[in-house]
Structure 1
Amino acid sequence: MQDLQGFYAALAVLASALGCGLLMGIERERRKGSGPHRALAGVRSFTLVSLAGAVAALSGSVVLLGVGATFVAALGVVAYVRDRSEDPGVATEIALLMAYLIGVLCASNRLLGAALAVTVTGILALRGPLHEFSNHWLQPGEVRSGLVLAALALLVFPLVPNQPLLQDLLNPQVVLRLVIVLLLIQSLAHVARRLMQARQAVALSALASGFVSSTATIASLGMEVRAGKSSARAQASGAVLSCVATMLHVLVVAATVQPQWLPRLALPALAGGLVAGAWGLWLLRGAGEQTAPSAALAADAPMFKLRDVVLITLLLTGIQVGVRWLDRTQGDAGMLAGALLAGLADVHAATAAVLMHALPGQPAAMGVEHALMAALLVHAVSKSGVAWVSGGGAYAATVAPGVLAHTVAFIGVLALL
């Protein structure tokens, strides 16, 4: 019985390696060409190499595994040396070695082996689009910005301490996460401007980034206005549209910390979201195509401005530290005062702080509603201030009415209820 089970297990490994080799080989066969200048390997070679890797892994011999890898690598070197084509590359040679390694991997993790085979085949099949993207679409300034963002996210972020400092008031990794979020928002807006018309780019990027941070979105769009890359009305439309996410955030926080408040807040949040969406679309319709193409498509234009992002981050972080200090030193009164102060920077913190104070129907529930109304109103004023600091008076004058209107809609419906 054990021998039969082992046979079926080995058969499954070989079948997986066979499928992976066929998948990669079919793609290479279609690009192999014909005649004396045809490429190294096709469907048969890839399939056999993948099967050879699986057989070597099933044998359990480290020596056989090494011999197989050395043979495939040497085969690739010889093929490259003998290549007489006008554009010699090493993609096929590397893919052939990957086919062998994938065959070996199938013996221990067939799912991962299949996933790698699909990934490698996709990379090989997208040769033209990838070359076009790298050589023609991607601009030098975007490459530099992408390297900075990748270094912060992949190298610096994991090394920054993820523990509270200054008596548990400040977490360095949270601060850096906010910087990365702001940079991502600006990068998404930059790419959207390249791919779409100005109005579509503002609307879609603002709606998406608003679910990360509406305040940060307003600040990022304001930086675009100050840099002269777009008109105040065009960016203000995106800023107001990002406030739709603010209303959804209120519901998400309520469902998380005090689900009993969710039925009470659903209709006010819906009213506020509808007002923000309608106001933003009205601004967008009247904005026109006012983005300056020369500024948006300049080859050396970076995707973001690191200095501006750091300044906004320091502002928001300072406010959050103040909220935590009030909560710690003043007790319940400090918590409510801190919730109002939290509204200056983050609607999540303000909503969570006041909703945890009481449940609907309790004597303190009316005070909770009043505190939430005040916190959201403070948050709206804060957003208007961020718009003025980041984008100037014209931008703030266009953003503030929409931000205040959707907040008043929420407060009005909640008061009526």
Structure 2
Amino acid sequence: MRYLDWLPPEATQITLVLFLAFLIGLEREERKAGGDKYAFGGVRTYPLIGLIGYVIATLAHGEWMPVALGFAVVAAFLLMSYWHKLSGSGYSSVTTEMTGLATYLIGVLVCRELYWLAATLTVASLLLLEFKTRLETLAQRIDPTDILIFTQFLLLAAVILPLLPNQAMSRFQINPFNTWLVVVAVSAISYGSYLLQRLRQGRGGLLLAALAGGAYSSTVTTVVLARRSAGAAAPRVYAGAIVMASGMMYLRLMAFLALFNFALLLRLWPLFSLLAALALLSGWLWSKSGSDAAVANEAYQPKNPLEISTALLFAVLFIAMLVATRLAAQYLGTAGVYTLAAVMGVSDVDPFIMGITQSTPQLTPLPVAAAAILIAASANNVAKGCYALSLGSREAGRQALLMLLALAALGLGLASVLWA
């Protein structure tokens, strides 16, 4: 027999309400002790509000109207307190009054035996109250552009994605939901890279910017670093940073394969890991061998990676690559897939690789798809080397081109093993 069997269940519930409401009242007492003479309530008022909510919910017998009326009465008293505070001090914060309403709801939740929700509401209220200064400081530090970018990500992931049908359409078996899911996955990795650059801005330096930028787009990062090297006097640092960005491309592609085609990941992860390690290590060592190490502490301002027009363009390119890959596999065979991989790798490797993940193994055998991905990545490295040579300083561009050509040659050599 349990020790508390002799207690009525209501006693345990009342004790829980008193305990949770007391914690909130205790926090408010600390606020009054800090000199806030207009602070409402404390260790007595908040437990009483919680008990009122519990008793009204108990007497309501499952009806919501009495609970709503009790909520309105408590809100009226809190409104009077707010009016007094506003007229006496001009201080317009309603945090305390909202906390009183939350305490009323805690009593109601405990009565309905929603204990986890009541405890969560209490903990969340306490954290918001205790971290008032830190949260306000954080709000002041957040740029309005960051809020806009996060809103755009929510639009892509939480608004548009659930609305799309999750079924294959047309003879190319294009699934709108899966197509946009690819867009969301690419955007999520790009957004994570953007946040890392924003958080470490001015502290991580050029090499961290190359790593974070490579996780977003190694091609864009190469163009940015190459242009900056034209006016700098440390070619080794910039060339090494460009190669490191290309190393991050392989890790990024591994993340995509893990999400959308695990069978391809199992075939490619040892090769991608080798290529990524070689690029990152050689790029880092080459940067550190430069005479002007101070340049490595420079950073650049990251740009918005989640523009809606960019997401739509990627979706269109992805569908085009999916159709092109399936047509090439059906009518041109293996050679057509490899040719398409080489051509598309020069422009944008992501749509092609994400498209081939959706056509494997139905139309494209796994070894052919794996080799095509390596060819596309190698072609992309050649293109980035050409960008570095044409846009950057003579020395930085030449060094980056040679290292990226070596990386591309190694990738093609590994691809030849797969298609042999």
Is TM more than 0.5 here? yes
- Offset of residue 81 of structure 1: 0.6
Give the conservation status (yes or no) of the 8 Å contact 2:28–2:41: yes
Residue by residue over 1:223-263, the C-alpha shift from the partner in whole angstroms, topping out at 9 and shown as x without a partner, is 7569979996586356224235257559958994389x67x
Q: What SS is found at the alignment partner of 1:98?
A: helix
Per the alignment, residue 291 of structure 1 pairs with 299
After superposition, where does 1:1-400 map in structure 2 within 5 Å? 9-33=9-33, 37-61=37-61, 62=63, 64-83=66-85, 84-106=88-110, 107-135=112-140, 137-198=141-202, 200=204, 217-219=217-219, 221=221, 236=242, 239-245=245-251, 248-249=254-255, 252=258, 256-257=262-263, 268-282=271-285, 285=288, 288-292=296-300, 296=301, 305-326=307-328, 329-330=330-331, 334=333, 338=337, 341=340, 344-345=349-350, 347=353, 350=356, 372-382=370-380, 385=383, 393-394=391-392, 398=400
- Offset of residue 49 of structure 1: 2.1
- Offset of residue 78 of structure 1: 0.7
Give the conservation status (yes or no) of the 8 Å contact 1:219–1:312: no
Per the alignment, residue 364 of structure 1 pairs with none
Aligned-partner residue type, residue 114 of structure 1: A
Per the alignment, residue 363 of structure 1 pairs with none
Q: What SS is found at the alignment partner of 1:32?
A: helix
Per the alignment, residue 361 of structure 1 pairs with none
- Offset of residue 274 of structure 1: 2.2
Per the alignment, residue 362 of structure 1 pairs with none
Per the alignment, residue 235 of structure 2 pairs with none
Change (3 A) 1:228 1:72: farther
Give the conservation status (yes or no) of the 8 Å contact 1:271–1:413: no
What is the distance in 2 between the residues matched to 1:199 and 1:236?
19
Q: What SS is found at the alignment partner of 2:44?
A: helix
Give the conservation status (yes or no) of the 8 Å contact 1:18–1:47: yes
Give the conservation status (yes or no) of the 8 Å contact 1:335–1:353: no
- Aligned pair count reads 390
What is the distance in 1 between the residues matched to 2:411 and 2:272?
9
- Offset of residue 184 of structure 1: 4.4
- Offset of residue 153 of structure 1: 3.5
Give the conservation status (yes or no) of the 8 Å contact 2:250–2:273: no
Residue by residue over 1:260-281, the C-alpha shift from the partner in whole angstroms, topping out at 9 and shown as x without a partner, is x67xx67545433421331353
Single out whichever of 313-322 and 396-405 deviates more from structure 2.
Answer: 396-405
Give the conservation status (yes or no) of the 8 Å contact 2:50–2:106: yes
What is the distance in 2 between the residues matched to 1:390 and 1:239?
12
- Offset of residue 159 of structure 1: 2.8
Aligned-partner residue type, residue 319 of structure 1: M
What is the distance in 2 between the residues matched to 1:255 and 1:36?
58
Give the conservation status (yes or no) of the 8 Å contact 2:254–2:269: no
What is the distance in 1 between the residues matched to 2:94 and 2:40?
10
Change (3 A) 1:389 1:59: farther
Give the conservation status (yes or no) of the 8 Å contact 1:385–1:396: no
What is the distance in 1 between the residues matched to 2:257 and 2:304?
36
Change (3 A) 1:372 1:177: closer
What is the distance in 1 between the residues matched to 2:310 and 2:384?
12
Single out whichever of 66-75 and 406-415 deviates more from structure 2.
Answer: 406-415
Aligned-partner residue type, residue 236 of structure 1: I
Change (3 A) 1:305 1:290: farther
Aligned-partner residue type, residue 277 of structure 1: L
Aligned-partner residue type, residue 277 of structure 2: L
Give the conservation status (yes or no) of the 8 Å contact 2:26–2:42: yes
What is the distance in 1 between the residues matched to 2:162 and 2:407?
41
Aligned-partner residue type, residue 279 of structure 2: A
Q: TM-score, normalised by structure 1?
A: 0.70
- Offset of residue 92 of structure 1: 0.9
Give the conservation status (yes or no) of the 8 Å contact 1:336–1:354: no
Q: What SS is found at the alignment partner of 1:87?
A: coil
Identity rate of aligned residues, in percent? 21
Residue by residue over 1:259-317, the C-alpha shift from the partner in whole angstroms, topping out at 9 and shown as x without a partner, is 9x67xx6754543342133135346656613335xxx39xxx85655545544443344
Change (3 A) 1:195 1:77: same
Give the conservation status (yes or no) of the 8 Å contact 1:220–1:390: no
What is the distance in 1 between the residues matched to 2:357 and 2:186?
22
What is the distance in 2 between the residues matched to 1:305 and 1:124?
35
Aligned-partner residue type, residue 278 of structure 2: V
What is the distance in 2 between the residues matched to 1:282 and 1:47?
63
What is the distance in 2 between the residues matched to 1:350 and 1:132?
46
The two structures, once aligned, show a CA RMSD in angstroms of: 4.9
- Offset of residue 414 of structure 1: 9.7
- Offset of residue 118 of structure 1: 1.6
Give the conservation status (yes or no) of the 8 Å contact 1:251–1:266: no
Give the conservation status (yes or no) of the 8 Å contact 2:382–2:404: no
What is the distance in 1 between the residues matched to 2:103 and 2:409?
58
- Offset of residue 151 of structure 1: 3.5
Aligned-partner residue type, residue 56 of structure 2: A
What is the distance in 1 between the residues matched to 2:19 and 2:334?
61
For structure 1, the 5+ residue unaligned runs are 359-366
Give the conservation status (yes or no) of the 8 Å contact 1:189–1:201: no
Q: What SS is found at the alignment partner of 1:242?
A: helix
